[in-house]
Amino acid sequence: MFGTLIKFFKFCDKENRKKFTGSIFVGILNSLFMAFRIGAVAVMLRGVIGTAIEGQPFETKTIWLSFGIMCVSMIGGIITRKVTAMWQCEGGYRTCAQKRIEIAEHLRYLPMGYFNENSLGEITSVTTNTMEAVGDVATRAVMMVFQGLLDTSLIIVMLFFFDWRIALVALAGFALFEFVNFFMRFAVKDISADKIRDDAAEIGKVLEYIQGIAEVKAYNLVGKRSRELNDVINRRKKTLIKMEMRCIPVSNLQSLVAKLSGVAMMIASLYFYLAGTMALADCATMLVCSFMLFNALEAGGNYSALLRTIDLGVTKASAILALPTMNIDGATNEKESHGFGTSNDVSNKNKKDFALAKSNPCDNSSLIEARNVDFAYDKRKIIDGISLSIPEHSTTAIVGPSGGGKTTFCHLLARFWDVDKGTVTLEGKDVRDYSMDNLMKNYSFVFQNVYLFHDTIANNIRFGQPEAPMEKVIAAAKKACCHEFISALPNGYDTVIGEGGASLSGGERQRISIARAIMKDSPIIILDEATANVDPENERDLMTAIEELTREKTVIMIAHRLKTVRNADQIVVIDKGRIAEQGKHEELVAKGGIYARFIDSRKEAVSWKL
């Protein structure tokens, strides 16, 4: 239990940890105020019993003293309980929010391979269910369990001042309660891991079903896919029921132990009174205490079954945050070789270096260069010893058979992954020596599958420059040939589009993504089959938009259309992870190799008529 409490506190950041630590100290005060009730009861009982049995005069000050102690207990308890609850809630929910942001920021710098190895459901589950547990359930469970232990411990300590024998009985009941509580946490140990696994599986399957609903309907697989989804939901339901069924018997036993411990205190108090070794007033006080002692402990004990789930949730979130990122600030080598003091210094140096490179262009120099680059997914080699120079303000077309490594190679150039062997340099500097954020400022991407966010069209265009004025957004849209269709929408640029851009056509989504890239105005443009799935009606506007985007830029394009590659400054044919051919269009056609066969197949496909 205490291991979970410590882990939870370490998981919180410094500011929120202070709130939880402060709530503990205020909780101690709250427990003291709650324990004052015993004193108020003892004063009143001694006054009443002394008057009724011993014939002593009942003094008004006894009533006022008991009333005063009870008022202090109630007022102090209300104030401390409010402060404790506020600090715990603030600490819990802020921890939840900050960890979600921290995980999102951390995911930005993980190698892309991580997202191939881990399902979307797993990541989503951690950032939703797990963080929700941390922000909501964990706050109540951890703090109620701790408060229950604290309240009971302080009351038992006070009992030692009244009668050590009854205090020992209460201490024995407390120990027995904790023993049963341990078995409750042990009973849900394995099922808690199943719950977290099933949470992730359910979210993953729901996302898969929703995202693939068009294909499911098109292939008439609604029943099959619904069964798969229902199976995952039912498995999670069974897991939750199983957890409850394990907890309920132990929870009932725990409650029984608490009640029997109170009964044992009552029996012992009556026995000692009848034996003449305990005053009647003390006996009456102990009888009242027997009803009060285990209330807080029992309430906290009911939440203790959740501690294991919280422990696993914190572990999973911490595991994501502990994943090694790529060298995101480029600071390690720079500090060692140049003695820069901070990562900000390095970032500023990177900005300066690249700014100098842009202001002194040299058409014969290599802006990007790959030297003997190797890369593998697990043990499957994708890129095998590729070397390539890409001059500034040139256009490089990359073609080749599907699965040959074209997209992977482009991702290596932009450092979506780190190479296994060799180097990729930008203006002569290894891309790993740039900060990740500064490196990404130099690249704009237009992918075949465009993703637009559930937001206004204007905000999607200004995604890379959130503060950009509307004039710049409209100017970028006009250059991307999408101003006309945007203006025709009911709310124009303020039209909210569906997640992924589902409410727009493929060509419209492509042109908005190009407008977004124009807004970013990066010196290097990577086009990954941007025109592959565009209908003829949109192709002319799309090609105009691409021409505007790539003007005076360094362009790297992956393309299957003849008209988009034949005018490139160099054409690189990648097959089985290697450069099979390289040169201009006429040179490669004359060789009669892979590229020539590619051109022939495209011409034959174009000649087909229906």
The strand pair at 443-447 and 524-528 is best described as: parallel
The strand pair at 570-575 and 443-447 is best described as: unpaired
**What does the pLDDT look like over 328-384, one tens digit per residue?**
565 433 323 222 223 333 334 334 344 333 433 333 346 899 999 999 877 788 898
CB 370 within 8 A of CB 408: no
How far is it, in rounded angstroms, from Cα 163 to Cα 281?
A: 12
How far is it, in rounded angstroms, from Cα 32 to Cα 26?
A: 10
Residue 190 confidence (pLDDT) above 60: yes
Nearest to 453 by CA among 507, 497, 402, 515: 497
Which residues are bridge partners to 425 per DSSP? 369, 430
How far is it, in rounded angstroms, from Cα 483 to Cα 415?
A: 33
* Enclosing H/E stretch for 570: strand 570-575
Three-state SS annotation for 469-481: CHHHHHHHHHHCC
Residues 92-121, mean pLDDT to the nearest whole number: 76
Return all residues near 191 (Cβ < 8 A) that are at least 6 apart.
Answer: 239, 242, 243, 246
Residue 49 confidence (pLDDT) above 70: yes
Scan for tokens 């009244």, then name that residue: 162
**What does the pLDDT look like over 368-395, one tens digit per residue?**
999 999 998 777 888 989 999 998 888 8
Secondary structure (3-state) at 423:
strand
**What does the pLDDT look like over 137-172, one tens digit per residue?**
666 666 677 777 777 888 888 888 878 898 899 899
Neighbours of 467 (CB within 10 A): 5
**Alpha carbon of 124 to those of 111, 197, 205, 317, 449: distances in Å?**
18, 12, 11, 11, 21
DSSP labels, 252-312: HHHHHHHHHHHHHHHHHHHHHHHTTSS-HHHHHHHHHHHHHTTHHHHHHHHHGGGHHHHHH
How far is it, in rounded angstroms, from Cα 412 to Cα 347?
A: 21
CB 411 within 8 A of CB 383: no
Residue 426 confidence (pLDDT) above 80: yes
Q: Which of 53-62, 443-452, 489-498, 548-557 has the lowest mean pLDDT?
A: 53-62
What are 304's two structure tokens? 């203790």
How far is it, in rounded angstroms, from Cα 408 to Cα 415?
A: 10
The strand pair at 554-558 and 395-399 is best described as: parallel
Q: pLDDT at position 371, please?
A: 92
What are 115's two structure tokens? 């997202």
CB 581 within 8 A of CB 573: yes
Residues 193-208, mean pLDDT to the nearest whole number: 75
What are 131's two structure tokens? 């963080």
How far is it, in rounded angstroms, from Cα 335 to Cα 342?
A: 8
Average pLDDT, the chain: 77
The highest-confidence range among 38-42, 407-411, 533-537, by mean pLDDT, is 407-411
Phi, psi for residue 582 in degrees, rounded to 5: -155, 135
Q: Report helix, strand and coil shares of the chain as percent, to nearest 5.
A: 70, 10, 20
Q: pLDDT at position 356, please?
A: 34
How would residue 53 be classed by pLDDT, with cut points 50, 70 and 90? Answer: low
How far is it, in rounded angstroms, from Cα 549 to Cα 547?
A: 5
What are 385's two structure tokens? 């010893």
How would residue 531 be classed by pLDDT, with cut points 50, 70 and 90? Answer: low
CB 385 within 8 A of CB 369: no
Residue 552 confidence (pLDDT) above 70: yes
Q: pLDDT at position 119, please?
A: 59
Strands (DSSP E) found in 350-441: 366-377, 380-391, 395-399, 421-426, 429-430
On the 0-12 / 13-18 / 19+ scale of CB atoms within 10 A, 451 is exposed
- Percentage of the residues of the chain whose pLDDT score is greater than 70: 77
What are 379's two structure tokens? 């043990």
- Percentage of the residues of the chain whose pLDDT score is greater than 90: 5
Return all residues near 36 (Cβ < 8 A) that are at least 6 apart.
Answer: 69, 70, 72, 73, 76
Secondary structure (3-state) at 528:
strand
Q: Which of 296-305, 432-441, 478-487 has the lowest mean pLDDT?
A: 296-305
How far is it, in rounded angstroms, from Cα 413 to Cα 387?
A: 11
What are 396's two structure tokens? 């490089």
Residue type at 506 in one-letter notation: G
How far is it, in rounded angstroms, from Cα 283 to Cα 292?
A: 15
Residue ranges of alpha helices (H) inside 163-220 are 164-187, 189-211, 213-218
Secondary structure (3-state) at 506:
helix
Which residues are bridge partners to 294 per DSSP? none
What are 314's two structure tokens? 């914190």
Residue 322 confidence (pLDDT) above 70: yes
How would residue 424 be classed by pLDDT, with cut points 50, 70 and 90? Answer: very high
Return all residues near 76 (Cβ < 8 A) that are at least 6 apart.
Answer: 29, 30, 32, 33, 36
The highest-confidence range among 66-75, 85-94, 235-244, 295-304, by mean pLDDT, is 66-75
On the 0-12 / 13-18 / 19+ scale of CB atoms within 10 A, 89 is middle
How far is it, in rounded angstroms, from Cα 577 to Cα 505?
A: 34
**Alpha carbon of 66 to those of 27, 39, 62, 250, 457: distances in Å?**
23, 8, 6, 39, 69
State the Cα angle at 414 between 506 and 459, rounded to 5°: 45
